[in-house]
Amino acid sequence: MKIAIDGPAASGKTSLGRALARHFGCRFVETGKMYRAVALAFQRGLALDGIEIDVSEDGRLLLNGEDVSDLLHTPGLDRGSSEVATIPAVRERLVSLQRAIADRADVVMEGRDIGTVVLPDADVKIFLSASPEVRARRRVEQRGGGGYAETLREIIRRDERDSTREIAPLNPASDATIIVTDQKTLTEVISEAIHLVKERLEGRWDHG
């Protein structure tokens, strides 16, 4: 089974993806971490040719063998990952890594282009959406407060870059189910998504 979750920054993809993966017994793959690891490698002065990226089954990100998972969520890498994600050679490398992982296992994979580019044949495609203001507020709450205005500005900047880049811009796949989460709790979004996945799977069995 392949479940694709796409959506803009801070739309709740990771919380939803983790819950779905647990519920359906799939491997959970956060593709944003891979772009973040490339940005970290570039910060360290490495070139794309000198980078080896691996993801362990429990989601740890290895950069040239080093576990860098805990270094990936900084404001610099929020911006840097969104910038490196506009480079075609970077996307090519990471998309083939993502497809190789999905070939070997049932996955819930989240990112920006999973339903459109990485797994166009996914069994279920979900696109999460919420206003920038709601997303900024949730991010600030996650961090325990502070910096709402700057967080909002940065989210709007990333939205702009992720949606206007020439290659694989952020867009819902034509067959994605769009869930607007502004007025919903995480629990509501998770149960809506579980329902959707079950419906799809049952439909598939019914039609043989």
Rule CB under 6 A: which residues touch ligand DC? 9, 31-32, 35-36, 81-82, 85, 111-113, 158, 162
Instruction: Report CA-CA distances (Å) from 113 to 110, 120, 188.
Output: 8, 9, 24
Residue 160 or 202: the one with the smaller Cβ distance to ligand DC is 160
Q: How far is the CB of 109 from ligand DC (least distance, A)?
A: 8
Residue 112 or 138: the one with the smaller Cβ distance to ligand DC is 112
Residue 153 or 195: the one with the smaller Cβ distance to ligand DC is 153
Tell how strand 66-67 and strand 61-63 pair up.
antiparallel
Distance CA 19, CA 108 (A): 10
Distance CA 68, CA 138 (A): 25
Instruction: Report CA-CA distances (Å) from 114 to 49, 96, 97, 108, 165.
Output: 24, 12, 12, 10, 16
Q: How far is the CB of 16 from ligand DC (least distance, A)?
A: 12
Q: How far is the CB of 5 from ligand DC (least distance, A)?
A: 10
Q: How far is the CB of 136 from ligand DC (least distance, A)?
A: 13
Residue 30 or 197: the one with the smaller Cβ distance to ligand DC is 30
